[in-house]
Structure 1
Amino acid sequence: MAAPSAPESTAVPQAAAEDVVRYPVAPGVRLNVRTGPGSQYRLIRTLPYNVKVPVYCQKPGETVTGTYGTTNLWDNIADGEFVSDAYVNTGSDGYVAPRCS
């Protein structure tokens, strides 16, 4: 199966960008950033250790088991950039941001 290569548009309104909350990535984890909500999407970059990421919106995708449990939620951290919520300490098993359109 070929990996999707076109990034998904997840433009963030300017007002939302100012109010966004940053959440810590799990300790000792260098988290992969992908173009969509799953490991089949193209890898864009890998985050360094001990970073906090903004969560502009979230969407369901591939189920991942990580430091903070098993989830199918993926966090949009920039336009066209997603990380698995299983490695982001949001303090919740559910949505903490609006659903991505």
Structure 2
Amino acid sequence: MKYTTAAFFLFQLITWTPGVTAYPITGNVVNCRSGPGTSYSTVKQYTLNTDVKITCQTSGTSVNGNAIWDKTSDNCYVADYYVKTGTNGYVTTKCGSSSSPSPSVPGPVVNDYPYKSSCGGTDPWLYFKCQCTSFVAWRINERLGIKFHNKYKGAAWGNANSWDEAAKATGVTINNTPKPGSIAQTSDGKAGHVAWVTAVNGDKVTIEEYNWSKVEGYGTRTVAKGSFKYIHLK
């Protein structure tokens, strides 16, 4: 069917959706998932240069340092890293709570750490893989949507026993009050320890951690909340 010029513009006006902009896919084959993270099931796949319409954006699993996920008009989520929007930041509104299949903070209690089968060497956040600091840095990027790393805000966060001082030096809140999504920190021991707070019940706190009860391995504990200080990045 051929359109006249007037008919073509009329067609565009009818089919255009306000607030929805199309951007090209930059990867050869990119998964669009049921939720904003690599652990969600694949709904469909996009190929290189396919234009996708972004209806809203949210935080999720960090992909090469970018924790933003784009919800497309196909009602699935694609990592913003693979979408050429022209920026590493948000280009549209954040998805409402009803748009996301599950909350990102504190998130599911599961060993979804991406380097659990490849310990050794440094991670993208300048920590050694399978150490407590690497696991928590990944949680911060994935669950909080903050581009945290060893030199965050210009401070040397270094070993876990340095995180409290780095937080103070950079104006990040640190106190004795835990909440889900905060960082449990102690300077005890040779290098200290950090963990991800997943639940608080009375005077008890449940944490996820690496390299504590199992060398370079994942674990969870419920301990007295006085066992740690708590860093609140968000």
Q: Which range, TM-score by smaller chain? A: 0.7 to 0.9
Decide whether aligned partners of structure 1 residues 79 and 52 sit closer, same or farther in structure 2, where only a CA change above 3 A counts. closer
Q: What is the rounded CA distance, in whole Å, between the counterparts of 1:92 and 1:51 in structure 2? A: 18
Number of residue equivalences: 81
Residues 1:81 and 2:76 are matched in the alignment: yes
Which structure: larger Rg? Answer: 2
Letter of the structure 2 residue corresponding to residue 40 of structure 1: S
Instruction: Give the root-mean-square deviation of aligned CA atoms.
Output: 1.7
Sequence identity of aligned pairs in percent? Answer: 36
Q: What is the rounded CA distance, in whole Å, between the counterparts of 1:23 and 1:80 in structure 2? A: 16
Segments of 5+ residues of structure 1 without an aligned counterpart are: 1-15
Larger helix proportion of the pair: 2
Q: What is the rounded CA distance, in whole Å, between the counterparts of 1:51 and 1:84 in structure 2? A: 14
Q: Which residue of 2 aligns with 1:32?
A: 31
Q: Which residue of 2 aligns with 1:90?
A: 85
**What SS class does the counterpart of residue 72 from structure 1 fall into?**
strand
Q: Contact (CA 8 Å) 1:33, 1:45: kept in 2 or not?
A: yes
Quick one: higher RCO (CA 8 Å, sep 6+), 1 or 2? 1
Instruction: Give the drift of 1:79.
Output: 5.5
1:58-69 to structure 2, matched below 5 A, reads 58-65=57-64
Letter of the structure 2 residue corresponding to residue 60 of structure 1: S
**What SS class does the counterpart of residue 95 from structure 1 fall into?**
coil
Q: Contact (CA 8 Å) 2:25, 2:47: kept in 1 or not?
A: no
Q: What is the rounded CA distance, in whole Å, between the counterparts of 1:21 and 1:32 in structure 2? A: 19
Task: Provide the TM-score with structure 1 as the length reference.
Answer: 0.73
Instruction: Give the drift of 1:47.
Output: 1.2
Segments of 5+ residues of structure 2 without an aligned counterpart are: 1-15, 97-234
Task: Provide the TM-score with structure 2 as the length reference.
Answer: 0.33
Q: What is the rounded CA distance, in whole Å, between the counterparts of 2:74 and 2:31 in structure 1? A: 15
Residues 1:100 and 2:95 are matched in the alignment: yes
Q: Which residue of 2 aligns with 1:48?
A: 47
Instruction: Give the drift of 1:49.
Output: 2.8
Larger strand proportion of the pair: 1
Q: What is the rounded CA distance, in whole Å, between the counterparts of 1:19 and 1:59 in structure 2? A: 16
